[in-house]
A = this chain, B = another copy of it.
Amino acid sequence: MDERTLEKALARAEALCAERGVRLTPQRRRVLELVCRAGHPIGAYDILSQIREGAAAAPPTVYRALDFLLEQGLVHKLETLHAYIGCTHPEHPHSSQFLICADCGDVTELEDESIVGSLRTAAAETGFKPSRPIVEVIGTCANCALKPPRK
């Protein structure tokens, strides 16, 4: 993520938190910044070691900030990667789907109504009430499909 986009994302996060009456503290802001700056999924301990370049810190520091950011929908957790990524459209709560390229590591966030719909329908058939639908598709992105795999 380039500096301009980053600035915008942070400003938007500030605004959203203010609106919601929750506190985007310097720590939380810092973690959000690191996640966004990475531009790809980043692990909690990677965040931690970057924070440690400037100050002492321990795992709970990072996990607490991440918990807050996840609650606010400012970042997403990719369960299959044990890694976190900035949300591309935090304005409204939503359930996203992720396309994860196993080759280059890039991740695309989708908000596809037809996926959400088919999930809802299938769940409803069994009387199941979804609260958090996780959709992470591992595969090969368009770019990487064109060229031979790295390595």
A140 contacts across to B, CB distance below 8 A: 128-129, 131
Q: Quick one: closest B residue to A127, CB to CB?
A: B142
Residues 21-56 of A at the B interface (beta carbon under 8 Å): none
Cα-based distance from A141 to B129 in the complex (angstroms): 6
On whether the beta carbons of A122 and B128 are closer than 8 Å, the reply is no
Interface residues on A, range: 35 or more
Q: Quick one: closest B residue to A101, CB to CB?
A: B128
> Does A83 have its Cβ within 8 Å of any Cβ on chain B?
no
> Does A19 have its Cβ within 8 Å of any Cβ on chain B?
no
A10 contacts across to B, CB distance below 8 A: none
On whether the beta carbons of B128 and A132 are closer than 8 Å, the reply is no
On whether the beta carbons of B115 and A122 are closer than 8 Å, the reply is yes
On whether the beta carbons of B119 and A129 are closer than 8 Å, the reply is no
Cα-based distance from A140 to B126 in the complex (angstroms): 11
> Does A15 have its Cβ within 8 Å of any Cβ on chain B?
no
Contact A119-B137, Cβ < 8 Å, known A99-B126, A126-B142, A142-B126 = yes
> Does A57 have its Cβ within 8 Å of any Cβ on chain B?
no
> Does A112 have its Cβ within 8 Å of any Cβ on chain B?
yes
A115 contacts across to B, CB distance below 8 A: 115, 118-119, 122
Interface residues, chain A, CB within 8 Å of chain B? 79-80, 97, 99, 101-102, 108, 110, 112, 114-115, 117-119, 121-123, 126-142, 145
Q: Which 8 A-B pairs have the closest CB atoms?
A: A127-B142, A130-B139, A132-B138, A114-B118, A112-B122, A134-B136, A129-B140, A133-B137
